[in-house]
Amino acid sequence: MDQEYERRLLRQINHQNLHTERRMTKSLGAACSPLSVKSGDRFIPTRAGSNWSINFHYANENCHSPAQNHKAKDAGSDSSKDAVAYAALLRNELLGAGIETVAEPHADDRRHEVLAPDSCSLFRYAVHTKRVPCDGGNEVSPFSLSPLSNKSHKLLRSPRKPARKISKIPFKVLDAPELQDDFYLNLVDWSAGNLLSVGLGACVYLWSACTSQVTRLCDLSVDGDSVTSVCWNERGSLVAVGTHKGYVQIWDAAGGRKLTCLEGHSARVGALAWNGEQLSSGSRDRVILQRDVRTPPATERRLQGHRQEVCGLKWSPDHQHLASGGNDNKLLVWNSSSLVPVQQYSDHLAAVKAIAWSPHQHGLLASGGGTADRCLRFWNTLTGQALQSTDTGSQVCNLAWSKHANELVSTHGYSQNQILVWKYPSLTQVAKLTGHSYRVLYLAVSPDGEAIVTGAGDETLRFWNLFSKTRCTKESKSVLNLFTRIR
């Protein structure tokens, strides 16, 4: 080919390409950049003044679905905390953020909401007159061999809280033959003397957490009766036993003898609660009886407010108020003097058996509903206001607060049969435990507040280490560690 002709052909092709590129640059610049007039014919986005910290966060948020973002926020593992520290390190080195400590991630954090939802681009095309200094004015020492800034060094040296580790496996499992699969009964309780009382059929058994010895306290089969509830007094010396025929028996645990038998109910007694020397009992006859065990049985208070069976009873830590839940979906609060409820909550859509008073906040009451409700609800009994609620996804059978942290544990039935640990007030799930094949109907907390025991219709009792007095990974000094743990 002639060389002169080849040069002319190449010059013509280059000229056409240049015109096409200029037209595309002008159209894109007019649509995307407000500075297209000042930038000439080249599409160069302006980076000065862009809020890179917010944009970078927002870009990461948009990469995942809302469910994945919520799950990531709830995670408390080492990998998630390392990811937070790494992101902070990148922001220090690339964006000059000047972060020196890593904050704990919270589920209710709303830092990302400052960006408008219609501005999803990582890059911005606006010009600002002032530019933020790269490292906040802190120069790196010329003698340092590290490529990191001073802020990043402080970030890496900042102390980190050890990760919360909750074992997914129970450290002990006991057989509990004839443990009834009945939502309305309360057949397991743990005493201050470290004795576990369990109602199995017509008998009540005591299991020592110190020696693992089992003794039979009573047998109601001779009277043709069965156990429907058990409850220890605060000192752990007396255990109350509710029966199917409506009796309440008081037993001396140390001596193994029955002290008295209280009458007054016409149906089974499924709920018991001690308040000092006074014992409250709730029955299928819809009545709550409150009696002093030191006085004759004639001195009793009858509390009538439920329209169906009473299945939950709990006294407040200050001994001033009694909370009762019933199969009529009602949660009632009584004081120590009135015969009518001082407060009534009707938000639940199913039976209210799970009730727990907070030991950390005065007047805070938690409750859980049955299969048709599935919700945890929190109430301020000082003002009578509803505070928060969350749908757990399954029947709520029991609730108990931690003695050492602002957390609570819930046990569930249909349809997941799980055990959940919640952080309050964020209501994020700290742990989810599974193992029971039937509804987890029974729950009790150890006297030191570090372990719980759960019982289910699968006729097993499972012991779990959930709470710790100190947030450390070393072995707990609970007396329960005397047991042989199942690995």
Q: Would you place residue 139 in the very low, low, confident or very high pLDDT band (cuts 50, 70, 90)?
A: low
Percent of the chain with pLDDT over 90: 59
**Average of per-residue pLDDT values in the chain:** 80
Range of the domain at 190: 172-465
pLDDT at position 487 over 50? no
Taking only the tens place, the pLDDT of each residue in 461-476 is: 999 999 877 643 333 3
Look at residue 46 in the predicted model and tell me its pLDDT: 58
Give the per-residue pLDDT at 54. Answer: 53
Look at residue 231 and tell me if it is in a domain.
yes
Assess whether pLDDT exceeds 60 at residue 270.
yes
Into how many domains does the chain fold? 1
Instruction: Confirm whether 471 is domain-assigned.
Output: no
Q: Model confidence over 149-206: pLDDT tens digits?
A: 788 878 777 777 776 788 999 999 999 999 999 999 999 999 999 999 999 999 999 9
Q: What DSSP line would sit under 208-230, residue for residue?
A: ETTT--EEEEEE-GGGT--EEEE
Is 70 a domain residue?
A: no
| 303 is a domain residue | yes
Asked if residue 394 is part of any domain, the answer here is yes
Which CATH number is 363's domain given?
2.130.10.10
Tell which wins on pLDDT, 18 or 40: 18
Binned at pLDDT 50, 70 and 90, residue 137 comes out as very low
CB-CB contact of 204 with 197 (8 Å): yes
**Mean pLDDT calculated for residue range 218-235:** 95
What is the reported pTM?
Answer: 0.70
DSSP state of 283: E
d(CA 289, CA 304): 9
Residue 152 placed within a domain: no
- Among residues 234, 233, 226, 298, which one has the least CA distance to residue 269? 226
CA distance 376 to 353: 12
pLDDT at residue number 192: 94
The answer to whether residue 203 is domain-embedded is yes
Q: Beta strand 287-292 with 300-304: parallel, antiparallel or unpaired? A: antiparallel
Q: Does 162 reside within a domain?
A: no
Is residue 297 exposed (0-12), middle (13-18) or buried (19+ Cβ within 10 Å)?
A: middle
- Taking alpha carbons only, the member of 427, 430, 458, 429 closest to residue 442 is 458
pLDDT band at 478; cut points 50, 70, 90: very low
The share of the chain scoring above pLDDT 70, in percent, equals 71
